[in-house]
Amino acid sequence: MRLFIALNLPKKERSRIDRAARLLRERELPVRWAEVDDFHLTLKFLGDVRPPRRDPVEHVMEKVAAETGPFEVTMHGFGAFPTIRRPRVIWIGAVATPELRCLKQDIEWGLAEHGFERETRAFHPHVTLGRAEEDGGAGAFRGLDDVVAGIDLKATFTVRSLDLMRSRVTRTGSRYTVERSIKLTGPR
């Protein structure tokens, strides 16, 4: 099954982000927008994980959660990968605090000990709001940079758990379910 480790946002913050992103959705861009209940911040995409490899994943998550206390994450700034003029992903960013970076690094190193490849790209924490459709056409995103610059939102929430998520790909997009949630119990 396709698994990843994520931080799920509280319902209140997901709703605030969704309201702020309404300006983007109203532009009728060639984008498949994520459902508000699916907003999450991915820490590590694992891909297809067979049952015997799931136990080490959960063990690493338990160890990291026991060493990490709850901490604040601030969501701020809309953008796109790879560029705002030719996006594949439209997102809202998260401030890469030392706590968030350490959590990501601890997961990467812990899973590397069990044969999972470490991510070598720079960590750009974000919540995906939508994915551009392949046939958007030239100029489909003209002016998007002005729109995102005009959206002012700062949403802060407390991270209290790590979630092991399952991803199912459907014709209408990915669907996510929490397979296991592990509370952060380490010192603050």
Question: Token pair of 58, please?
Answer: 């959960």
Residue by residue, DSSP assigns 49-99 as: --HHHHHHHHHHHHHHHHH---EEEEEEEEEEEE-SSSEEEEEEEE---HH
CA distance 4 to 49: 9
Catalytic option among 40, 59, 114, 124? 40
CB of 72 within 8 A of CB of 159? yes
Question: Token pair of 15, please?
Answer: 């709703």
40 labelled catalytic: yes
Q: Which residue, 146, 131, 166, 181, is CA-closest to 29?
A: 131
Catalytic option among 59, 76, 114, 126? 126
Q: Which residue, 106, 37, 39, is CA-closest to 71?
A: 106
Residues labelled catalytic: 40, 126
